[in-house]
């Protein structure tokens, strides 16, 4: 794990890159911090896959406006518009990507780089009746099988032909360094459903793209993490039990363990209370 995002090592290595980049828009150059991720073969150091955010997203999707007049207008003041902070390759060879400043999680085709779907943000493709799309400035998006949570199989209902249902975990900051929502950060577990054979889904039908909140994991002190954060699923010792959840509260140097149902089991921290509140640990 790096300061600016994931660094995942298997037989291959996948990592995030921030690169100063010039992009023309409206006849003028924008100077941006573009975000890429690469997967390389460790043994040969050869590139397997590369994806660049600005090739598939427009800077207008960002919620993170330039902080001063010249930001993004000169090659000395690049604008951080996307802020890629996690990437995961799934069993199908596709990639799940989290972008903090577009408030979105994107599922990317591992062959073409095309966007399969986007959850959240201005380009959202999903519908929800329980505020599952209200996450923002999030970190560490990860897929999980419904089977990883035995108690949820019944709760989520029967599967539907042609529709894939997966769980997504994330740390929902709900705040960042430029704005305060007034809400505490949280760990969030979502269920998303979407067409399995997306390549044949020529006309997007939003009724086939659904998201719902399965569980949220809140801190008893309503901690606000304006940067960083993590959500870890710890496997159970028995296949008929749900895993436990560990939430890391980012800059607040606090971590909490929960049952899958949301009951707080353990809460611990580094440093003094004052250090926790100002993020100095």
pLDDT digits (tens, 9 = 90+) for 48-91: 999 999 999 999 999 998 887 778 888 889 999 999 999 999 99
Query: Which CB contacts under 8 angstroms, 24+ apart, belong to 144-152?
Result: 144/168, 144/169, 144/233, 146/191, 148/233, 148/235, 148/243, 149/214, 149/242, 149/243, 149/260, 150/239, 150/240, 150/241, 150/242, 151/242, 151/260, 151/261, 152/191, 152/214, 152/242
Least Cα distance to 171 among 101, 100, 102, 242 occurs for 100
Average pLDDT (119-141) is 96
Mean pLDDT over all residues of the chain?
89
pLDDT at 155: 74
> Residue 222 and residue 218: Cα distance in Å, rounded?
7
Mean local confidence (pLDDT), 129-140: 95
The mean-pLDDT minimum among 14-28, 78-92, 194-208 falls in: 194-208
Calculate the CA 163 to chain-centre distance: 22
pTM equals 0.91
Three-class secondary structure of residue 122 per DSSP: coil
Which residues neighbour 278 within 8 Å (Cβ) at sequence distance 6 or greater? none
Token couple for 211: 């998201």
Distance of CA 170 to the CA centre of its chain: 6
- Give the pLDDT score at 194: 94
Compute how many other C-beta atoms are within 10 angstroms of the C-beta atom of residue 130: 11
Of 251 and 89, the one with more pLDDT: 89
Angle at 142 between CA 140 and CA 143, to 5 degrees: 170
Mean pLDDT (whole number) for 113-124? 96
The predicted pLDDT at position 5 comes to: 56
Mode of pairing for the β-strands spanning 230-234 and 210-218: unpaired
Which pLDDT band, with edges at 50, 70 and 90, does 202 fall under?
Answer: very low
pLDDT score of 177: 77
The pLDDT score that the predictor gives to residue 272 is 73
Mean pLDDT of 197-208: 66
pLDDT at 180: 78
Which burial class, exposed, middle or buried, applies to 144 when counting CB atoms under 10 A from its CB (0-12, 13-18, 19+)? middle
Are the beta carbons of 252 and 261 closer than 8 angstroms? Answer: no
Confidence (pLDDT) at 67:
82
Lowest mean pLDDT among 44-48, 158-162, 163-167: 158-162
Percent residues over pLDDT 90 in the chain? 67
The per-residue pLDDT for range 208-238, each reduced to its tens digit, is: 899 999 999 999 999 999 899 999 999 999 8
Neighbours of 41 (CB within 10 A): 12
- Distance from C-alpha of 124 to C-alpha of 137, rounded to nearest angstrom: 15
pLDDT, residue 255, reads 95
Answer yes or no: is pLDDT of 274 > 80: no
């Amino acid at each position: 794990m790096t300061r600016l995002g994931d660094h995942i090592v298997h037989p291959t290595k996948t990592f995030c890159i921030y690169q100063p980049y010039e992009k023309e828009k409206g006849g003028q150059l924008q100077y941006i911090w573009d975000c890429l991720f690469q997967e390389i073969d460790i043994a040969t150091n050869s590139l397997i896959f590369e994806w660049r955010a600005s090739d598939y997203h427009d800077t207008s999707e960002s919620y993170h406006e330039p902080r001063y007049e010249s930001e993004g207008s000169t090659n000395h003041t690049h604008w951080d518009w996307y802020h890629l902070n996690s990437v995961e390759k799934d069993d199908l060879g596709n990639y799940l990507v989290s972008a903090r400043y577009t408030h979105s999680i994107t599922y990317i085709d591992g062959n073409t780089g095309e966007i399969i779907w986007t959850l959240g943000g201005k380009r959202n493709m999903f519908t929800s009746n329980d505020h599952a799309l209200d996450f923002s400035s999030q970190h560490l998006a990860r897929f999980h099988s419904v089977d990883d949570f035995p108690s949820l199989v019944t709760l989520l209902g029967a599967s539907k032909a042609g529709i894939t249902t997966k769980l997504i975990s994330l740390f929902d900051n709900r705040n960042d360094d430029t704005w305060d929502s007034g809400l505490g950060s949280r760990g969030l577990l979502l269920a998303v459903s979407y067409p399995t054979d997306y390549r044949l889904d020529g006309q997007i039908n939003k009724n086939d793209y659904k998201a719902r909140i399965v569980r949220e994991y809140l801190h008893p002190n309503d901690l606000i993490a304006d940067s960083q954060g993590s959500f870890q699923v710890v496997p159970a010792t028995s296949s008929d039990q749900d895993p436990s959840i560990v939430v890391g509260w980012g800059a607040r140097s606090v971590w909490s363990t929960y049952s899958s149902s949301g009951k707080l089991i353990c809460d611990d921290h580094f440093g003094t209370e004052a250090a926790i509140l100002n993020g100095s640990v």
